[in-house]
Chains A and B, each alone.
Chain A
Amino acid sequence: MNKRLLNKLVCKSKIKCYVAVLLSIAFSFGTSTVALSASIGNAVENINGAITIKADCEISSSSKTFLFDCPESGEFYIAFNGIQSDLAYNDIEMKITIDSKSISDNESINVSRLWTDDGDIRVDGKGNEFAAKQKSFDDVSVIYPTVNGNVISTQLNEGEHNITLVATEGKYNLESMVLFPVDSISKYSKPNKSEYYNGDTVIIEGEDALYKNSRWLISQSDGDSALVHPYDPYVNKINYIGGTNWKKIGEEITWSVDAPSDGYYQLSFDYRQNGVVNYNCYRTLKIDGVVPFSEASSIAFPYGVNWNNTVFSDEDGNPFLIYLSKGNHTLSLTVTVGEYEKIIKRLNNVVSGIGNIYFEMTMITGETVDLSRDYDLFELIDNLEQNLKNISRELISIKKAMLKISGRNGGSYESVVSNMNRVVNEMLNHKYSAARYKSNFYSSYTSLSQCINDMQDLPLDIDRIIISAPNKEIEKDNVSFFEKSVYSIKKFISSFVNDYESVSEINSEKALTLWVGLGRDQSRVLNDMIASDFTKNTGIDVNVKMVNASIVQAIISGKGPDMIIQQARTEPVNLAMRGALYDLTNFEDYKDVLKSFMPGAETPYYYKNGLYALPDSQVFSMMFYREDILKKFDLTAPKTWDELIEVIKVLSRNNLSVGIPYTQILDNGQASAGVGALSLLPTLMQQRNIPLYSDDLISTTLTSPKVLDTFDFYTSLYTKLKLNVSISFYNRFRDGTCPIGLSSYTLAVTLMTEAPELDGVWKMSVVPGTKDENGNINYSSAGGGTGCSILNMSNHKEEAWEFLKWWTGAEAQMNYSMNVEAILGPLARASVSNVEAFKMMPWTSEQKSSILNAWKYVQEYPEVPGSYQVARSIDMAFYSVSNSNKSSKDMLVKWGQEADKEVLRMTKKYENR
């Protein structure tokens, strides 16, 4: 039978199903939305020229192939109709090949999981509302596979094809796939007036989203304005969705819309866009999963300090009307760069060209340009003049295009582009002294890269979506100035009465107290997590106080907390030896809890056979390298230190460097981070199997010959091989002048989000190892981290233990880290100590396995009384050698003896307590 006829029949029967189910929906309002999805699926399949491929199977790690027929060649988008099927948190990663050719150049294709509110908005004892917990959206929906947030499209010729799907991460239950032509989305055509809708206005509250494709897109509360709905000066009410969590390309929120009757509706939004000063943020509108017309693929939301209203209309103010049939539909808004898409592409190309030129320049001039030399850059670098001229021309053209969109001069993006152009022209005009402009060139280049990143951050807050009869005046709540002032005054007065700390009706008898010295956002996240998860499940209240008092003050005032979290590495032993902490081995299940960390992670928190803290974060270094640059010199990633030294030699002949930055101790906080986090020496010692302390833990091994040798090797990296002591490795890695280096593994997150141009070109692996006599390579490395403990003066030790178990558990660790990252950006991703939590976080499968591999090798040194002096001694010895060229062995002996003295003194002092 003809495939088209088959499709039509399928469609017809589907419509019958749809009607039947809709009727049953009417009797069971508020439950499953299967009917809804049937109509959605329809919308996509009904597009002109769409090819529907039935699947009805599970996409998993075993590949599935489907055959289909393409009636007309063209470019097609791909949409999935289906539902996720396993319970993990990570998005589904898959590979799609058509006719055995990958459609995405080997970049992994992402299929987002969908999330929805689990139950209602939660309210605390005081009436403050906060968002519901999120659960998987377990219903069929239309999803577009994406690469870096962008929807994929592929060229197809007429004829038969096969398409193969395989999931490298996660599982997906696919009902059908729809390929529809890119140019099926036509321009808007004004409908007949007779078809206008003219009934009552329908208002959808932004915070009542049906589902979203990111777990962190939750509804929020704005208590500062009387313009938002609903509002209350005395308690926090949930009133909008969006915020800084809704800004990356591809993030989407979907609402459910009930249209009262068939017709063309006008769409307007109560919104606030105060994130990107003087620029617009854009969203793509989809109805039932399909973009209705091409103008809807980027709706502009202009900047404004306060809440505002915008009607979806064209430049002359004529509203674009959307057709909705009577009944249920979905409306989605997806983050997009809108009109800037082409510009961003062009900028990316230009920046990559500029980066290459910078790299070539550095190979000739080295890091700092000697002003008295003529470098003849234009002679030595191929085609430099031509390239620079092209770049300049392109920059000017880009700037013109940007001006056309923004309509104003002097915006910060335009000025960055002008600046880059200016520097390029200076170089072209001063060919012989062009090298002098290198640092300007570099700073403009980094600004431009940063600018491109910023252009792709588009936050928006949606308070309400209003669909109404076209051109009908929406009764604007014109909040008068008087009302606004009254609101502010009420809020001010309530601040004298309100209690801002407690999250619930806390009965201080049974409640735990926790002090956190974190920033406001982190404290909020913590508060929410505790209220919605810990307290709900265990019934134990926790009073979280944002205070930057020390434990000492707590003890003196007698009003201290019950437990402390995120203490620096050296603190637990420091406090334990003074009797301030409670020995956790008193709890029977402590050994089970320790299983959730890497073996040995709790080593630094033992004191005299008692365990005084659980690790709540663990950080360690890995090696990052640029494959493309290493390949240029025929180098491969080194596995041992000797190999690394060879690499250093080759690179430095070309004025490139290796990044092994050293952390300088500037304050107490850094001093207590522990010796493993500060320098490379402990790692090297671990690799040679040298302990840091003697067996009886009363002295260090710093003065022993083996350690002196290691230290000598370590300092020779800086004194003989001239590595830089203090550099910004991330920047140098990005522009290529430091193509290899060591850094904490969380750098990977920064590279993923802020340096997308390096995707696929950088890799991470375990740090270089040391070969022993048998030829085996020891890859150990020393780590750093924080711990959480229970105070001895607590009267609720059992409850506090429950809290610690929860806090170091996989859910809490992951939730906290991802929530904070959603607010503060990639640099805030915590290096969790719970291995399960780590696995649940959104790493690519390649990164995950690299990091887990390196993590296995991490060995922790114990902490002893007086260990701050050890870190200090190493620091002092190091600087004496690198600054004043004194003999490394002499210096380490001198300072090692200081450390020994101190450790002995402190140990003896506290021996009998």
Chain B
Amino acid sequence: MKTNTNGSFKKWMNKEGLYYVMLFPFISLFVLFTVVPVLSSVILSFTDYDMISNPIFVGLENYARMFANDTILATILKNTLTFAIITGPLSYILSILLAWMINEFSSWARVILTFMFYTPALVGGTAYLIWQIAFSGDSYGYVNSMLLSLGLITDPIQWFKNPEYNMTIIIVIQLWLSMGVSFLANLSGLQNVNEEMYEAGAIDGIKNRWHELWYLTLPSMKSILLFGAVMQIQAVFSVGGIISSLAGYPSVDNSVDTLVSYIGDIGGSRYEMGYAAALSVLLFVMMMVFRLIVGNVLKLLGK
């Protein structure tokens, strides 16, 4: 190759070179707007940066603070993991099942059903407004007024303010909001499953639909399932905004604060971007761990 002359350059262009050209738009912008900021953020995690004066290099101090000095962090990690472990798998499995069930309907029925389940994600911010009204701490909120009239309680309960209740409610709301990206991705992934497999399967002894799902459908969707899983991990660890609007900033006793809302707090109120960056790195590591676990689980599919 090296000995060839111009002709091979053209050949190379038509083979490998074109790949690089096709890759270029995406990767160049990706590096500019994602990689560079991520690297800066990691570097910032070793500094003390209050966003106004210049960053001061402090080495591992932020990390030391995370592990040794931060009393709230333990609660926060506990909350984050609770959300991740409960909401994550539940909504993932739910999105697979729903996609599978809806897939078999024909055109209009399918669009309608998909639309209905996708609505909370589509409507966005106004979606959880109605939960706020239902669980309002006033004696006129839906749930409170119902319980009061039935005589089950005597004073209105501050749902979101009370550590006993707020976690459960937010988990439910999160589940309800979660039919989003992975759900639609699974739906589209089901389209391209190779139909010939099913004939082979019928011969090979597939007895019912669940067998079919587990042994045939899912394994041929592995790539999409991985996508769904990664998106789910990302979604579940990013629960932050709704918590502050519903439960307070920060919530009582930090009972429902997650790492994301904590990071926002550290950066937004305390102006300690260096520490926030260190926490982001911690969050990243946690998500990576989950990603690896999920990757391995998916390999088991169909066995």
CB neighbors of A among B37-54 (8 A): 50-53
Of the stretches B75-83, B115-123, B169-177, B241-249, the one at the interface is B241-249
Given A368-B149, A666-B249, 17 further pairs, Cβ under 8 A: A368-B156, A369-B149, A370-B149, A371-B151, A552-B51, A578-B53, A579-B52, A664-B161, A664-B248, A667-B249, A671-B269, A672-B269, A725-B158, A868-B270, A872-B250, A884-B162, A898-B71
Residues of A within 8 A of B271 (CB): 552, 574, 578
Contact for A371 among B137, B150, B245, B253, CB less than 8 A: B150
Query: In the complex, what residues of B have CB within 8 A of residue A879's CB?
Result: 158, 161, 252-253
Q: Mark A373-398, 1 if CB is under 8 A from B, else 0.
A: 00000000000000000000000000
In the complex, A586 has a CB within 8 A of chain B: no
Instruction: Provide the bound-state CA to CA distance between A355 and B253, in Å.
Output: 41
- B19-27, B138-146, B201-209 - the one binding chain A: B138-146
Interface residue ranges of B236-279 to A (CB < 8 Å) = 244-245, 248-250, 252-253, 268-271
- Name the interface residues of A121-163: CB closer than 8 Å to any CB of B: none
B155: chain A residues at CB < 8 Å are: 722
Instruction: Kindly state the separation between the CA atoms of A255 and B208 in the bound complex, as whole angstroms.
Output: 87
Asked whether B151 lies within 8 Å of A665 as measured between CB atoms, the reply is no
Give Cα A724 to B144, complex, Å. Answer: 14
Residue of chain A at shortest CB distance from B246: A666
Residues of B within 8 A of A876 (CB): 252-253
Assess whether A883 is in contact with B158, with CB atoms less than 8 Å apart: yes
Q: Which residues on A are within 8 Å of B, measured CB to CB?
A: 367-372, 439, 551-552, 555-556, 574-575, 578-580, 664-668, 670-672, 722, 724-728, 868, 872, 875-876, 879-880, 882-884, 898, 906, 913
A368 B244 Cβ-Cβ under 8 A: no
Can you offer 20 A-B residue contacts whose CB atoms are under 8 A? Answer: A368-B139, A368-B148, A370-B149, A370-B151, A552-B52, A574-B271, A579-B53, A665-B249, A670-B249, A672-B269, A726-B137, A726-B138, A728-B138, A876-B252, A879-B252, A880-B252, A883-B158, A884-B162, A898-B71, A913-B53
Query: In the complex, what distance in Å separates the CA atom of A833 from the CA atom of B71?
Result: 40
B219 close to A (CB within 8 Å)? no
Are A883 and B252 interface neighbours, CB within 8 A? yes
Contact check, A665 vs B248: say whether CB atoms are below 8 A apart: yes
Nearest A residue to B268, CB-CB: A668
Partner of B269, one of A552, A726, A868: A868
From A727, which residue of chain B is reached at the shortest CB distance?
Answer: B138
Determine whether the beta carbon of B249 is less than 8 Å from that of A671: yes
With a CB–CB cut-off of 8 A, which chain B residues contact A906? 270
Contacts of A672 in B (CB 8 A): 269
A578 engages B52 (CB within 8 Å): yes
Q: For the complex, is B163 an interface residue (Cβ under 8 Å from A)?
A: yes
Cα A667 to Cα B244 in complex, Å, equals 7
Residue of chain B at shortest CB distance from A726:
B137
Specify which chain A residues have a CB less than 8 angstroms from the CB of B52 in the assembled complex. Answer: 551-552, 555, 575, 578-580
Q: Determine the chain A residues whose CB is within 8 A of the CB of B51 once the complex forms.
A: 552, 555-556
What are the residues of chain B within 8 A of A724 when measuring CB–CB? 139
Per a CB cutoff under 8 Å, which of A574, A579, A666, A725 touches B248? A666
CA separation between A72 and B149, bound complex, in Å? 64
Q: Give chain A residues whose Cβ lies under 8 Å from the Cβ of B71.
A: 898
Q: Which residues of B are found within 8 Å of A439, using beta-carbon distances?
A: 140, 145
| B163–A884 CB distance below 8 A | yes
Our pick among A371, A872, A875, A883 for the contact of B162 (Cβ within 8 Å) is A883
Q: Within residues 44 to 96 of chain B, which ones have a CB less than 8 A from any CB in chain A?
A: 50-53, 71
Q: Kindly list chain B residues whose C-beta atoms are within 8 Å of the C-beta of A668.
A: 249, 268-269
With the chains together, A865 CA to B155 CA distance in Å? 39
Name the residue among B50, B158, B163 with the largest chain A CB count within 10 angstroms. B50
By a CB distance below 8 angstroms, the chain B residues around A556 are 51
Q: Which residues of A contact B162 (CB under 8 A)?
A: 883-884
Measured CA separation A65–B248 after assembly (Å): 63
Task: Please give the distance in Å from B264's CB to the nearest CB on chain A.
Answer: 9
Chain B residues contacting A868 (CB-CB under 8 Å) are 269-270
The 5 closest A-B pairs by CB, nearest first: A578-B52, A371-B149, A552-B51, A879-B252, A368-B148
Chain B residues, Cβ within 8 Å of A667: 244-245, 249
Which single residue of chain A is at the shortest CB-CB distance from B245?
Answer: A666
Determine the residue in chain A with the shortest Cβ distance to B252.
Answer: A879
Closest residue to B146 on the A side, CB-wise?
A: A371
Q: How far is the CA of A578 from the CA of B148 in the complex (A)?
A: 51
User: How far does the Cβ of B152 sit from chain A's closest Cβ, in whole Å?
Assistant: 11
Among A552, A556, A579, A672, find the residue whose CB has the most chain B CB atoms closer than 10 A.
A552
The winner among B52, B148, B162, B269 for most chain A CB atoms within 10 A is B52
Which residues of B sit under 8 angstroms from A727, Cβ to Cβ? 138
Distance (whole angstroms) from the CB of A567 to the closest CB of chain B: 14
In the complex formed, the residue of B with least CB distance to A580 is: B52
**Distance in Å from the Cβ of A51 to the closest Cβ of chain B?**
57
